[in-house]
Amino acid sequence: MANGPSQPESQSQSQRPYPSVSLYGVPFSRMDMKETVAYLADKIASRTPQRVVTGNPIMLMEGLARPEFMRVLATADLIVPDGVGAVWAAARVGQPVKERVAGIDLMHELLREGDRRGWSAYLLGSTDEVVRAAYEKLVRQYPGVRFVGCRNGFFTEAEDEAVVARIRELAPDLLFVARSMSTQEPWIAKYEKQLGATVMMGVGGSFDVISGKLKRAPALFRKLRLEWLYRLIQEPSRFGRMLVLPRFALKVIRDGANVLKPTEPS
């Protein structure tokens, strides 16, 4: 077991095997949902590990403040534009993405494809109650997927080795991780080479929605790009975190074309 994060070589935008737009040095995919699923399906078929980040402005702002977190984002194999702010920023700098690829939607689309292809999946994160409820619902929804296990996300660094070893033993095609942002992405990056999974993807609060603990925003809210507001109504404690969004918008407007260049964290 490695003692520190693995340090994959940073891939430049030109080296990416798909169209991308760099936002503060983080290359966001410009593929749509269908293309993204097809890309990852090919990686699963060839057993080529992929660390997938569902990127948003809060992550970018965290990365600008913390160089080590920015490295975690920038070195991922695939960063999809999960947040509407990332979609807006790409359009603002003249390199629009085809569409928002929301993490929870990508998770379902991958499971739908896995249902057809007989892929295996493991769920890691949230509380025991939530992850088990999500697991049971997904087992019923996608009977063709081999759900090989689940466990909560509340474990210490001392327990990492056992958690990683269990996942490696099961070698799932799909590993979905739902932990806090500050833990989720660095943890996947640290152990990506030891996990033995093919697609490793952080899904944030998706298990809460799938389990029924939280409701997802109605289609109208999503169409109007107000899913963040609906979630804030359900979780008022997120208010402080949401204040990052206008700060990000103002920064993008102020920085202009410099958004496309790697930026020294401040």
Q: Can you tell me the mean pLDDT for 238-257?
A: 84
For residue 109, give Cα distances in angstroms to 48, 115, 170. 19, 10, 22
Give CB contacts under 8 A, 24+ apart, made by 72-76: 72/5, 72/185, 72/186, 72/189, 73/26, 73/185, 74/10, 74/25, 74/26, 74/27, 75/7, 75/8, 75/9, 75/10, 75/11, 75/189, 76/51, 76/52, 76/185, 76/189
Share of the chain above pLDDT 70, in %: 83
For the entire predicted model, the pTM comes to: 0.87
Lowest mean pLDDT among 128-137, 205-214, 227-236: 227-236
Are the beta carbons of 231 and 238 closer than 8 angstroms?
Answer: yes
pLDDT in tens, 69-107: 999 999 999 999 998 999 999 999 999 999 999 999 999
Q: At residue 238, does pLDDT exceed 80? A: no
Are the beta carbons of 207 and 59 closer than 8 angstroms?
Answer: no
**3-state DSSP assignment of residue 81:** strand
Please report where in the chains the tokens 């697991």 appear, as a residue.
135
12 falls in which pLDDT band (50, 70, 90)? very low
- Residue boundaries of the structural domains of the chain: 26-253
Lowest mean pLDDT among 9-23, 67-81, 99-113, 248-262: 9-23
Q: At residue 163, does pLDDT exceed 70? A: yes
Cα angle value 55/15/67 (rounded, 5°): 45
Q: What is the DSSP letter of 201?
A: E
38 vs 9 pLDDT, higher one: 38
Are the beta carbons of 148 and 122 closer than 8 angstroms?
Answer: yes
Are the beta carbons of 49 and 23 closer than 8 angstroms?
Answer: no
**Alpha carbons 261 and 266: distance in angstroms, whole number:** 15
Q: Can you tell me the mean pLDDT for 42-68?
A: 97
What's residue 222's pLDDT? Answer: 63
What's residue 214's pLDDT? Answer: 73
Q: Is the dihedral of CA 184, 201, 238, 25 positive or negative?
A: positive
Q: What is the DSSP letter of 210?
A: H
pLDDT in tens, 100-153: 999 999 999 999 999 999 999 999 999 999 999 999 999 999 999 999 999 999
For residue 89, give Cα distances in angstroms to 249, 255, 257. 8, 11, 11
152 vs 221 pLDDT, higher one: 152
What's residue 83's pLDDT? Answer: 87
